[in-house]
Amino acid sequence: MKSKDFLSVADLTSERIKTIITNAEKLKTEGWKTQLNEKILALLFELPSLRTRVSFEVGMRQLGGQCIYLSPDEVQLGKRESIPDVARVLSRMVDVIALRTTSHDNLEILANNASVPVINALSNVEHPCQALADMLTIYEHKEILEGLTLAYIGDGNNTAHSLMLAAALCGMDFRIASPKGYRVDEKILKTAQQFAADSQSTILCTEDPKQAAEKADVLYTDVWISMGQEAEAKQRKAIFGKYQINSQLLGLAKPDAIIMHPLPAHHGQEVAENIIYSPQSVVFDEAENRLHAQKALLVDIMGGSEILMPDLR
């Protein structure tokens, strides 16, 4: 793996994640510019997307670069051509590759064989680009990250893993309520616990959504059935029934708590009807911030903060 790959939030240090968030804010609010002239990002997507694809495409254009979207049917990763060969060929032509896949192992194979940086645009294990946008969104609404409490209600999935690592790196207390059998991965939890020890924050895993939500600053949820888990839909709907963000759970959080969800959402499942449109919901800020956070990530990967400059127009 190369130092500029971004497969996991754990590839970042607490200093680097804070720099990316600060730069994302400058790019968003102060009209800061960069010089990513003519860089090309290949978007290799094996799964559907709205936010991730559009935010990368728009972000690269705004930075002066371009994207090439490669659909699953086109490349047929590992079927039409081996993953190492795809990595070698793309590395000869593009400057960075983003892969969305249900196989984190394939993502690692791609990164290990590419000579250009590889970004995780969502895998079955992590969704690190989402976590960057989430940290930016929380910072915008709360003006601080250290010392806040984030309560995640639901599946210990890709989104939860990246969020837990990011919260621990940023000094936020992280609580997760998941049913037995759907908790976060033990290895990722251990890494997050190390980050939390360094940032003097805490991590709590529970089966009780109420315990997680109590006096939280942020209530976060994600779908019960992630991409690739469609065959488990019936079983998951039955198991996750009480892991819903609704007005009762919101009543336990701090009065100014914000509600977050990476989207797409299933109203009436992980979020009660209309909760996404309540005044406390920031889900569309979160979606917009995918753009700003990923621009800052691309700057970090392809140039560093020194290529950021104030807009002098």
Judged by CB under 6 A, the chain residues 126 through 145 that form the site for ligand CP are 130
Strand partners, 68: 42
Nearest residue to ligand NVA, scored by beta-carbon proximity: 226
Q: How far is CA 149 from CA 48, 218, 261, in A?
A: 32, 6, 16
Return the one option of ligand NVA, ligand CP, none that residue 50 interacts with (CB less than 5 to 8 A, by type): ligand CP
Strand partners, 96: 41
Q: In what order do the strands lie in the sheet with 118-120?
A: 66-70, 40-45, 96-100, 118-120
Size of the site for ligand NVA (CB under 6 A): 10
Q: Is 50 in the site for ligand CP (CB under 6 A)?
A: yes
Judged by CB under 6 A, the chain residues 113 through 152 that form the site for ligand NVA are 122, 127
- Which of 8, 120, 158, 281 binds ligand NVA (CB under 6 A)? It is 158
Instruction: Compare residues 11 and 270 and give the one whose CB is closer to ligand NVA.
Output: 270
**Contact window for ligand CP (CB under 6 A) among 5-13, 48-56, 71-79, 271-279:** 48-56
Q: Is 262 in the site for ligand NVA (CB under 6 A)?
A: yes
Q: Is 122 in the site for ligand CP (CB under 6 A)?
A: yes
Residue 245 near residue 219 (C-beta atoms within 8 A)? yes
- The vertex-24 CA angle with 19 and 28, nearest 5°, equals 150
Q: Which residues contact 47 (CB under 8 A, 6 or more apart)?
A: 72, 100, 101, 102, 122, 227, 228
Is residue 285 packed enough to be buried (19+ CB in 10 Å), middle (13-18) or exposed (0-12)? middle
Q: Is 49 in the site for ligand CP (CB under 6 A)?
A: yes
Length of the chain, please? 313
Instruction: Quote the least distance from Cβ 154 to ligand NVA, whole Å.
Output: 9
Nearest residue to ligand CP, scored by beta-carbon proximity: 52
Taking CB under 6 A as the rule, which mask of x and - marks residues 283-302 in contact with ligand CP? --------------------
Residues near ligand NVA (CB under 6 A) are 122, 127, 157-159, 222-223, 226-227, 262
